[in-house]
Amino acid sequence: MISLGVVLVPFLVVLGTRLGRDPSLVRSPLLGKAAPVFDLPRIDAPGKLGSADLAARVFVINFWASWCIPCREETPVLESFYRRWQPAGVELVGISYADEAGDAMGFRRKLGGTWPLVNDPGDRTALEYGVRGVPETFVVDGRGVIMAKLIGAVREGTLDEVLEQIRAGGAPISARNDRYRTNP
């Protein structure tokens, strides 16, 4: 009986300290740190695309999947963002998560989009970024530092606001912006 208490009490203490906290709101330990390096095969074109190709530029990484409903909803928002910011040198990279390249290209043909898409074999890059589900979006500044992590479908204007805050010298940003998780 005493051994059960020895095991149960610490468990209840940990559980009690976590009650009422949303685990999706945990700030990424990567915020303010160098973005993990990647060099991944393109889905939409021949060759590879890597973080070295984006050096000294602000870039946005969107982890997504063809089976992800919120990813479908955010596609026109991402395209609108890309058309506005790509001429200013900001790149957007879509990294396919737990998906097949053929399904990803089918998604692109059906829903559109013009930003580069890459495959993440074994989801290694997603693991390095700490991705827990899709969509998740990261904004990396020109120094290669992760300045923002957005959980859930990106809404119109959100990435614009993040980039303006970064340009103004703002601190790293962690936000939850997914109507699917906040209003089921």
Q: pTM of the prediction?
A: 0.81
Domain boundaries, the chain: 24-182
Closest by alpha carbon to 96, among 113, 83, 81, 82?
A: 113
> What is the percent of the chain with per-residue pLDDT over 90, rounded to a whole number?
71
Secondary-structure class of domain 24-182 per CATH: alpha beta
- How far is residue 93's CA from residue 82's CA, in Å, rounded to a whole number? 10
Q: What is the pLDDT of residues 65-94, one digit of tens each?
A: 999 999 999 999 999 999 999 999 999 999
In DSSP terms, which residues pair with 149 in a beta bridge? 138, 174
- How far is residue 184's CA from residue 161's CA, in Å, rounded to a whole number? 25
Backbone angles phi, psi at 175, to 5 degrees: -140, 155
Summarize the confidence of residues 95-116 as an average pLDDT: 96
pLDDT score for 167: 85
Q: What is the pLDDT of residues 5-43, one digit of tens each?
A: 544 444 444 444 444 443 434 467 888 999 999 999 999
